[in-house]
Amino acid sequence: MFKFSFDELIDIILSFFVISIAFSILYSRTDISQAINIVPIVMVGAGLGFIFHELAHKFVAIHYNYQAEFKKWMPGLIFSLISPFLGFMFAAPGAVYIYGNQITDRVNGIISVAGPITNIVLSIGFLLSAAYAIANPQSIGENQMILSMFILGFSVNAMLALFNLIPFSILDGAKVFRWDPIIWLIVAAIAGGLLYISMTSQREILIFLANLIKC
């Protein structure tokens, strides 16, 4: 049954706010006053991306009849807040812990890849939403905050997907790679492509998609 303990809800909420604040600091380039202004935007783009990522792990684990619970990781929470001041983002405030009989590499890989795939789907969804908003400016009126939220959600979710696919230690990527290197490569390539677009040709892609929507 898909349910949460009280402690788990507290850990998820705490991690949600820490991730949102950390990304706000990163995107404001450590300008605290600006960071405070963009926190609501980041909560939707980054905060929800984090929550849905973890819920995907939990849902798939439960589907395979395992108990699953999100728990905060205090060193990760602290470093998530510190890393933006060092010029990068370390987004690992906690993880879903799985309990039950011995888990196979295949099931562990499927549970692990569910999180990054969720971020990829969200990234594409935010990208298409941004393109739709550009193609139909009347849909958002003069509220550029909504467009900014879509664009930030696109780039942050691509970043979250690729970061978690790093095949190292406790990250999702190590478990996915151990299960099936080809699937890892495909998913990582998609996440990397989305992140590359967000960093190099985002404006051109948005205009191209907006023109397609208008047709």
What are the counts of helices (DSSP H) followed by strands (DSSP E) for the chain?
Answer: 9, 2
Within a domain: 138: yes
Query: Does some domain include residue 142?
Result: yes
Q: Is-above-0.95 flag for pTM?
A: no
In a domain, 83, yes or no: yes
Task: Kindly state whether residue 125 falls inside one of the protein's structural domains.
Answer: yes
Return the number of other C-beta atoms located less than 10 Å from residue 162's C-beta: 24
Q: Domains in the chain: how many in total?
A: 1
From CA 57, how far away is CA 59, in angstroms rounded? Answer: 6
Task: Return per-residue pLDDT of the chain as tens, 215 residues.
Answer: 567 888 999 999 999 999 999 989 988 887 788 888 888 888 988 889 999 999 999 999 999 999 999 999 999 899 989 989 988 888 788 889 998 888 999 999 999 999 999 999 999 999 999 999 888 877 665 567 888 899 999 999 999 999 999 998 888 999 999 999 999 999 999 999 999 999 998 989 998 998 888 87
In a domain, 27, yes or no: yes
Residue 1 lies inside a defined structural domain of this protein? no
Burial (0-12, 13-18, 19+ Cβ within 10 Å), 181: exposed
Domain of 175, in residue numbers = 6-214
Beta strand residue intervals within 49-207, DSSP E = 67-72, 94-99
Q: Is 100 left (phi over 0), alpha (psi -120 to 50) or beta?
A: left
Let me know: does 195 contact 125? Beta carbons within 8 Å.
no
Q: Is 145 a member of any domain? A: yes
